[in-house]
Amino acid sequence: MDKLILKYKNNPDLLYQTWFINSKDRLKSFRSIKNGIIQVVDDIKNGSFPNNINGSSLEFVLKCITEQKEVFKGAKHPFDWKPKMRIPDIYENQENKKYFGQFLDSCLNTNEEEKLLREIVKLDKRNIKGLGPALANILYFLHPTIFPPCNTIIKKGFNHLFEERINCSWNDYLKMRELIIQKNKEYQKFFSNDLGAFAGFLYEIGKNNILVGQEKIFSEKEREKVILELKKRHKKIIDEKQEDELHTKLQYQLLKIGYTLGYDVVVASNDSSKSYKNNKFSFFCLSKFPELEVSKEVFKTIKLIDVVWLQKGSNKIVCAFEVEKSTSIYSGILRLVDLSVSLPAYDSKLYIVVPDKREKEVKIQLERPSIKESKSTIFYILSSDIIKNCDALCRFGDDCTILKKITKN
């Protein structure tokens, strides 16, 4: 087991390195997803939740989750409305919808393991058609030390590693969860209290990226499939590295523009050590974010916003920017809304910087009722417009109004 775990942890192409410890998006997503779930509960309470997932706050939450690497790729599928089978039966059946909202509300309002497990048992007894353990992917982002993620590949890896026959029921999920927690404690020196690390281990076993036992014999066709999968994974890692480099470049340019226009600038707290072409961010950014009159949890989220411009010598936020990649967009929008709702008196300008090829998608997301109802005006800027116009904005701008030249909404 030790050798298997070290293979998982030390391989730069596997989830421990690419997602669990080195993904800034993973850490930033927890509060965004939690806020999205709060919106789902509110929509069900006030009767505005639709009879289909399309356009709902639940769809937004699930898209935030599916942005989290391939381990969550299929997280939305079980919740897609299948009209012929009437599943999952939380859209048309108003009583089931109400109970689903109450279940999420209960899970939001406690951190006690026993209470949470009782809620699952009560949900299971209700026998809501099509609402199974795929819900654990939502629960993970609320309580990562209590609930491991769950999908077909994780279950496959679990069954292979522990010689079990776990299927798709809540009882099976709870049995799997107990053994995962037990083994996570047993091998605590390798893993984390966050059960995502162990779930990633099972996922890689389920994908045959880590072979369990020397008795595993592949046919030539199976071997080729595994090799092809690993090549795809490696290419994806390289593509993500290039995206990270572009992300750093855009952060630098936004910091440079704000600094040149005379604002104090701050970069996301976990990016303060970064640099672009030997220009260290710490040389012209504030050393720390000025204190704000918000809760610790909200302040923690605000400090993770990619770039913030502040009025010189004050804590007044003038502009906030989320720089998104080709794999993310939803959680960035939620963070900006969170900032706007938490500090309404500041009237900060909110911007999301997106790849050109995602312009159509960001337009659709900014038109969502849940975004409009928040009364937060979010503008978007195309990455190419920042890159092309950085020097001109620095040269001809007097204040943040120069951004009107390149912003859209």
* Domain contains 200: yes
* 333-345 mean pLDDT: 81
- Domain limits at 146? 2-206
Answer yes or no: do 190 and 319 share one domain.
Answer: no
* Domain contains 286: yes
Answer yes or no: do 261 and 201 share one domain.
Answer: no
* Domain contains 229: no
Residue 386 has what pLDDT? 95
* 264-289 mean pLDDT: 90
Burial per residue of 32-46, b for 16 or more beta-carbon CB atoms within 10 angstroms, e otherwise? bbbbbbebbbbbbee
Of 206, 230, 257, which marks where a domain is finished? 206
SS3 track for 326-347 = CCCCHHHHHHHHHHHHHCHHHC
* Domain contains 223: no
Sign of CA dihedral 360, 361, 367, 371: negative
Question: In this structure, which amino acid lies at residue 380?
Answer: Y
Of 206, 230, 254, which marks where a domain is finished? 206
Instruction: Please write the tens of the pLDDT for every residue from 79-126.
Output: 999 999 999 999 999 999 999 999 999 999 999 999 999 999 999 999
* 335-358 mean pLDDT: 85
pLDDT classification of 302: cutoffs 50, 70, 90: confident
Number of structural domains found in the chain:
2
* Domain contains 370: yes
With a CB cutoff of 8 Å and minimum separation 6, the contacts of 25 are 67, 68, 327, 328, 331
CA angle 227–232–234, rounded 5-degree value: 95
**How confident is the prediction for the chain on average, in pLDDT?**
88
Residue 233 has what pLDDT? 64
* Domain contains 235: no
Answer yes or no: do 190 and 250 share one domain.
Answer: no
Answer yes or no: do 263 and 373 share one domain.
Answer: yes
Instruction: Say whether pLDDT at 73 is over 90.
Output: no
How far is the C-alpha of 366 from the C-alpha of 42, rounded, in Å? 19
* 37-66 mean pLDDT: 92
Instruction: Say whether pLDDT at 6 is over 60.
Output: yes
Answer yes or no: do 249 and 312 share one domain.
Answer: yes
Instruction: Say whether pLDDT at 72 is over 50.
Output: yes
Residue 214 has what pLDDT? 44
* 164-182 mean pLDDT: 92
Residue 338 CB neighbours (<10 A): 21
Answer yes or no: do 284 and 148 share one domain.
Answer: no
Instruction: Please write the tens of the pLDDT for every residue from 175-229.
Output: 999 999 999 999 999 999 999 999 999 999 998 888 776 444 556 676 677 667 6
* 344-357 mean pLDDT: 86
SS3 state at 348: coil
* Domain contains 230: no
Instruction: Say whether pLDDT at 307 is over 80.
Output: yes
Residue 333 has what pLDDT? 83
* 269-298 mean pLDDT: 88
Answer yes or no: do 199 and 249 share one domain.
Answer: no
Answer yes or no: do 163 and 51 share one domain.
Answer: yes
Answer yes or no: do 52 and 151 share one domain.
Answer: yes
Instruction: Say whether pLDDT at 345 is over 70.
Output: no
Q: Where are the beta strands (DSSP E) in 235-386?
A: 264-267, 275-276, 279-280, 307-310, 317-323, 349-354, 378-382
Answer yes or no: do 10 and 159 share one domain.
Answer: yes
Residue 215 has what pLDDT? 45
How far is the C-alpha of 134 from the C-alpha of 125, rounded, in Å? 16
Residue 344 has what pLDDT? 77
Instruction: Please write the tens of the pLDDT for every residue from 234-275.
Output: 676 677 778 889 999 999 999 999 999 999 999 998 888 889
Answer yes or no: do 157 and 73 share one domain.
Answer: yes
* Domain contains 187: yes
Report the DSSP pairing between strands 275-276 and 317-323.
unpaired
> Any long-range contacts for 51-57 (C-beta under 8 Å, 24+ apart)?
51/91, 51/92, 52/81, 52/91, 53/79, 53/80, 53/81, 53/91, 54/81, 55/368, 55/369, 57/370
Answer yes or no: do 292 and 366 share one domain.
Answer: yes
Of 179, 206, 233, which marks where a domain is finished? 206
